Amino acid sequence: MPKKEIFFPIKHDLFLAWFVVGCGIVGAINLAKLAPSMGRLIDYFQIALSTSGLIAGIFSVLIITTGLIGGIIVSKYGPRLAMLLGLFISALGGMFPVLIPNLNTLMFGRTLEGFGFLLINLSAPVLLSLHTNKSNRGKVMGVWGSFMPAGNALIILIAPFVYLFSDWQLLWEVSVYFTAGMCFLAYFIIPLDPEQFKTPLTEKLSLVVMKTIKKRSIIIVGATFACHSLIFLGNMQFLPYYFNEIAGYSENFSYLATACYCLISFVGHLYCGILLGREHNPIKLISLAFVAAGVFVAFFFGVFDAFITFDRLPIIKLLAIMLAAFLMGLTPPTIFYLVSFVSPPSRITPINYGYMVQIQAIGIFAGSYLYGWLVDETGGWRVIGFLGIFISILGIIGGINSAQMILGNKKLKA
């Protein structure tokens, strides 16, 4: 029997991984495009801040409530069709508010984009697990995990140029054109689903879902991912404001620095893929990421200011948050890598990912809320540093336990 490498050489694996990243960037752009557009949307629709918060929370609420349902859809209809459907729905979600610019269609469009994001996010790792070699899994998941910081950086860099010429509608149009193009290419590039997605499950779907819900390994790895998302996305959403209003940098520099934060994390994701490809211990990678998050985020937000009095402290803090972004890039690829081994690639795989992402979304939702609430309550930013330390400790504990549960001690030597 020929080896898998004959069918899936490393060039094939990496090409498919990078194309799937392009699909993932569609979702990341749709998620992140609200941040540079919120002020314009508030002025255009004459809405209150509370309403803008509701619009911003649509993605998170959808994932928290429908993650498992999305996994079931991918399992039933296959990851290829689910990916195409996710891209198509995302394009519709971006198009409706441009054609009918009112608040109701904006929220309806965000709902479509949110569910499209969910289907893309669940289909992608399943496709990569099915159509790439197990020996290349680490590199492939490292590439895939980079979709979020890549998309975030891209939209942060593009938005200011778009707003030089037009308003939020043009930014939405750009995202629709990109989404439609990726959907067209995906139809020809993404392989057909293998045999294990054409045969029915050996047991009732309800029993499979109940078994998934009871898997402690997925619960813990999802909670670990939630800890990462809370810190990383919480930082990203508030960095432009912090750099501009608190640190005193210009608005342009603040957006550029935030884009660099995302791009440096993107490089960290790719580096993690290399390390996983060399069979580095996932426990060490996740632990290093959370130690860096706890220490450098706390340093950036002033927890250690009483003990450190450098003349160039602002520059050192800037370097510290960038280093935190790079090392935090070790977490998402490792999480995807671990979940891919919970069970052999099959129709159960997307249900596992759906449940994991549903738990992770709690961190996405909680991050921006906790950051804002804690700063309002305490009147300062130092509390964010203490929050980073606490969440990082939880992340380390979760990373150690989930890796041991999923891979066992025999695969955790490197």
Q: What is the pLDDT along the chain (414 residues), one digit of tens a residue?
A: 344 444 556 788 889 999 999 999 999 999 888 878 877 888 898 887 667 777 878 888 888 899 999 999 998 889 999 999 999 999 999 999 999 999 999 999 999 999 999 999 999 999 998 888 888 888 899 899 899 999 988 988 888 888 888 889 999 999 999 999 999 999 999 999 887 676 766 778 788 888 889 999 999 999 999 999 999 988 888 888 888 888 888 877 888 898 899 999 999 999 999 999 888 999 999 999 999 999 999 999 988 887 876 667 788 999 999 999 999 999 999 999 999 888 877 788 899 999 999 999 999 888 877 888 888 888 888 999 999 999 999 999 999 999 999 988 545 555
pLDDT value at residue 355: 93
pLDDT value at residue 4: 43
pLDDT value at residue 254: 84
pLDDT value at residue 50: 64
pLDDT value at residue 394: 97
Q: Is the pTM of this model over 0.85?
A: yes
pLDDT value at residue 2: 41
pLDDT value at residue 384: 92
Which domains does the chain carry?
Answer: 9-411 (1.20.1250.20)
pLDDT value at residue 383: 93
Q: Which has the closest alpha carbon to 304: 362, 195, 385, 365?
A: 385
pLDDT value at residue 411: 56
- Cα separation, 392 vs 231, in Å, equals 8
